[in-house]
Amino acid sequence: MDVVRQSARAGRVVLWEESARDGAQAKTLMSPQFRVRLARETGRIFGADGPRHVVFAAGFPAVCAEEFEAVRRVAVEAEGAVSVAAVCRGARKDMEQAVASVRGSRHARVMVVVPASEAMARVMVHRPAAEALQAGVELVKAARDLDESVAVDVCLADASRADASLMAHCAEALTAAGAGLVVLADTVGAQLPAACRDMFEAVRAGCGEEVVLGSHLHNDLGLGLANTLAALAAGVRVVSGSWLGIAERAGMAATEQLLFLLARHAPELLGPDSDAWWTGPDLTRLPGIARMVAEETGVPLSVTTPIVGTGVGTISTGTPFVHPELFQPYDPAAVLGVQPRVLLTQLASARVVTAVAARLGHRLDPGQTRAALAWAKSRAFRTNRAVVDDAAFADYLDGLTHTTGSAP
């Protein structure tokens, strides 16, 4: 049974996770053992329903022998945690390698990339788009003949610049040949959200109900997430994402943002009667997985990274310290398990200074508080660093309280 296709047809959301595959085009490389770990951890977000909610694109087996073995290891060792996929070009040899890399794994898939626009077809396969798409149909048939237990999906590259009626006709032919999903890709990340929604609606209107569409939308204009939400609004239920948004060039929608928004706002995004999950995602797992990926790839978590960044749950100024609920869209501790942290910066108030001092084991009287506040602001400007290090502040407080005497 194709559990991914089943999920999408039932209106459930499926994440096609690309950080190990498309993420490599962001000049990152995940070791085989890390890919296995990441696949398992991503699946655990949905518990036993991991294979029904996550397709983990393990890699591109045709790259080299080492890449083939990495994909094979994920297929064997992450079996049952997610649906494992191998990605390949629209060439017979590549397709055979992809099938071989995942064969025998439960819920295994391959995705064949086929050009959909005239320009991309001329560059990739040196033939018109209609011929390239028909060749994709033949590859699906060949893959199903090789191993009918391996689901076969097709990604229509450069769909955003392709003819919608041609793609709809092709999507029906691909599905009839045995394709599980037909994924429309904004390969160069140039679409605006309205155009993205129009594309999916036009293709959907031109093909039968048996066709299951998916999205793969890049972020070159900073609109990967917005376009993915537009695809969901058009009825798409299989959406591509990547941890930390890592993918070719400017990346794609970040997995942690997609899952967070869908878990918290499914009725607004999918419709009031939507039922997005077999098992709802455990959002408290998002920060830990993001830190894992950052450490493995060298892609840093910044203070402005939504959902999983270093600024989440931090307070450094007076009014947010007194009423934090007024200055954040959700409670990081309750939703993500991220405990609040008070940081000392040049924007500190007396309340912030006394809170940080208390955390470091010091009770300050009003005079000491004023002195410590002035010292913290001065140090930030002297060093040109906003956050005052705990160790430096602790040293200062030791001297301050020793000189002036600790408050009772």
Tell me what the mean pLDDT of segment 75-95 comes to. 96
- Give the percent of the chain with pLDDT over 70: 99
Tell me what the mean pLDDT of segment 13-28 comes to. 96
Give me 339's structure tokens: 């405990």
- Give the percent of the chain with pLDDT over 90: 89
Calculate the CA dihedral of residues 151, 157, 162, 166 and round it to 10 degrees.
Answer: -20
Half-sphere exposure of 367 (CA within 13 A, CB side): 7
The three-class DSSP label of residue 339 is coil
Whether residue 151 has pLDDT greater than 80: yes
- pLDDT for 242: 98
- pLDDT for 323: 78
Q: Which residues contact 209 (CB under 8 A, 6 or more apart)?
A: none
The three-class DSSP label of residue 155 is strand
Output DSSP code: residue 387: S
The 10 Å CB-count burial string (b at 16+, else e) for 268-300 is eebeeebebbbebbebebbbebbeebbebbebe
- pLDDT for 335: 92
Give me 14's structure tokens: 């499926």
The sign of the torsion formed by the CA atoms of 278, 280, 281, 282 equals negative
Tell me what the mean pLDDT of segment 185-203 comes to. 97
- pLDDT for 408: 38
Residue pointed to by tokens 């270093």: 310
- pLDDT for 316: 86
Tell me what the mean pLDDT of segment 163-181 comes to. 97
Average pLDDT, the chain: 94
Give me the residue spans of the domains in the chain.
3-297, 313-408
CB contact at 8 A, 191 and 217: yes
Q: Per residue in 265-307, pLDDT tens?
A: 999 999 998 999 999 999 999 999 999 999 999 999 999 999 9
- The closest of 89, 82, 135, 78 to 111, measured between CA atoms, is 89
Tell me what the mean pLDDT of segment 56-66 comes to. 97
Candidate from 209-223, 309-323, 349-363 with smallest mean pLDDT: 309-323
Q: How confident is the model at residue 406 (pLDDT cuts 50, 70, 90)?
A: very low
- pLDDT for 404: 59
Q: Which residues contact 305 (CB under 8 A, 6 or more apart)?
A: 244, 290, 311
Angstrom distance (rounded) from CA 70 to CA 293: 17
Q: Are strands 213-217 and 179-186 parallel, antiparallel or unpaired?
A: parallel
Q: What is the CA radius of gyration of the chain?
A: 25
Half-sphere exposure of 253 (CA within 13 A, CB side): 29
Angstrom distance (rounded) from CA 40 to CA 125: 36
Q: Does domain 3-297 have CATH number 3.20.20.70?
A: yes
Angstrom distance (rounded) from CA 340 to CA 38: 27
Q: How confident is the model at residue 81 (pLDDT cuts 50, 70, 90)?
A: very high
Tell me what the mean pLDDT of segment 109-123 comes to. 95
Whether residue 322 has pLDDT greater than 90: no
- Greater pLDDT, 320 or 225: 225
Angstrom distance (rounded) from CA 237 to CA 226: 15
Structural element, H or E, at residue 183 = strand 179-186
Whether residue 363 has pLDDT greater than 90: yes
Other residues' Cβ atoms within 10 Å of the Cβ of residue 372? 24
Tell me what the mean pLDDT of segment 10-24 comes to. 97
- CA 238-34-64 angle, 5° bins: 85
The three-class DSSP label of residue 111 is strand
- pLDDT for 405: 53
Q: How confident is the model at residue 407 (pLDDT cuts 50, 70, 90)?
A: very low
Give me 352's structure tokens: 């912030």
| CA dist 275 → 8, 177, 363 (Å) | 11, 29, 52
- pLDDT for 266: 95
